[in-house]
Amino acid sequence: MERLAVREISARFLSQDERIEIADLRHAGLSIRAIASRLGRSPSTISRELRRNAVTGNDYRPFEAHRRATARRTRRHRRRLEITPELQQVVAELLSQRWSPQQISRHLRARFPDEPRMSLCHESIYRAIYQTGSLLLRPSPLAPQRRSPLRTGRDHRRAHRRGELRRPRFEQPMLTIHQRPFPPEDRSQAGHWESQCCCQATRDRAAGQGSW
């Protein structure tokens, strides 16, 4: 079986069981709104499903419909940057000037307010940069060794982990000066003399009694 046909999909997509129920209810003569109410879906979702995945006319076959939907998800959708050369040129030019994707996204909305095809969110720009074989990857005059157009120089997305799985930066938590087991006036350990002198010099400077 196809990989996408057997894996668990998001709940926002129709499942095979829901498509079987749509076929049964449609065969029983229920309207689109009635079917949507029974499944807890939007009427537009049911209407689109019957329109896109029906074999011919009103002949809706649930297993064939599910196979079509699965095959449609496997196709790679071309990005707006790929099908709009003018947009790609503007984004590449601004990236070469070290603009961030957030700045580019705001600039596109202000520069082309009446052209939706010339607008992009910053996440779309990041994905276009990080995708394999991206046309936006090129050496920068400021850093020839880096091909990423981002100011960070990153050409791949950094993995993020949940907070409880993230390894702490320090193995032992650091203690503030107020949590030390001895008072600051106690100079029994090396290294605290400089801290005491620095604090005294700061107080003297604030009072106008000394200088650095």
Residue at a domain's end among 29, 54, 74: 74
Cα Dmax for the chain:
95
Residues contacting 159, CB < 8 A, separation 6+: none
Quote the pLDDT of residue 180: 66
- Kindly report the three-state secondary structure assignment for every residue of 87-143: HHHHHHHHHHCCCCHHHHHHHHHHHCCCCHHHCCCHHHHHHHHHCCCCCCCCCECCE
Tell which wins on pLDDT, 130 or 208.
130
Residue 4 lies in a domain: no
Residue 94 lies in a domain: yes
pLDDT at 54 over 90: no
Residue 131 lies in a domain: yes
Judgement on whether residues 65 and 92 belong to the same structural domain of the protein: no
Residue 33 lies in a domain: yes
User: How many domains does one find in the chain?
Assistant: 2
Quote the pLDDT of residue 192: 56
How far apart, in whole angstroms, are the C-alpha atoms of residue 112 and residue 103? 14
Q: Indicate the angle between helix axes 62-74 and 16-27, nearest 10 degrees.
A: 140
How far apart, in whole angstroms, are the C-alpha atoms of residue 68 and residue 170? 52
Quote the pLDDT of residue 106: 94
Structure tokens at 163: 């907070």
Judgement on whether residues 87 and 66 belong to the same structural domain of the protein: no
Judgement on whether residues 84 and 42 belong to the same structural domain of the protein: no
Model confidence at 127, pLDDT cuts 50, 70, 90, reads confident
Residue 162 lies in a domain: no
Structural domain span for residue 21: 11-74
Whether residue 80 contacts residue 120, with contact meaning beta carbons closer than 8 Å, is answered with yes
Judgement on whether residues 24 and 67 belong to the same structural domain of the protein: yes
Residue 46 lies in a domain: yes
Judgement on whether residues 30 and 48 belong to the same structural domain of the protein: yes
Model confidence at 33, pLDDT cuts 50, 70, 90, reads very high
Question: Rounded to 5 degrees, what angle do the CA atoms 143, 149, 153 make?
Answer: 65
Structure tokens at 169: 């930066």
Residue at a domain's end among 113, 133, 157: 157
Model confidence at 145, pLDDT cuts 50, 70, 90, reads low
Residue at a domain's end among 157, 174, 189: 157
Judgement on whether residues 106 and 69 belong to the same structural domain of the protein: no
Model confidence at 1, pLDDT cuts 50, 70, 90, reads very low
Give the pLDDT confidence of 164-199 residue by residue, as tens digits.
Answer: 666 776 667 666 766 766 665 666 666 555 444 455
Residue 21 lies in a domain: yes
Quote the pLDDT of residue 11: 77
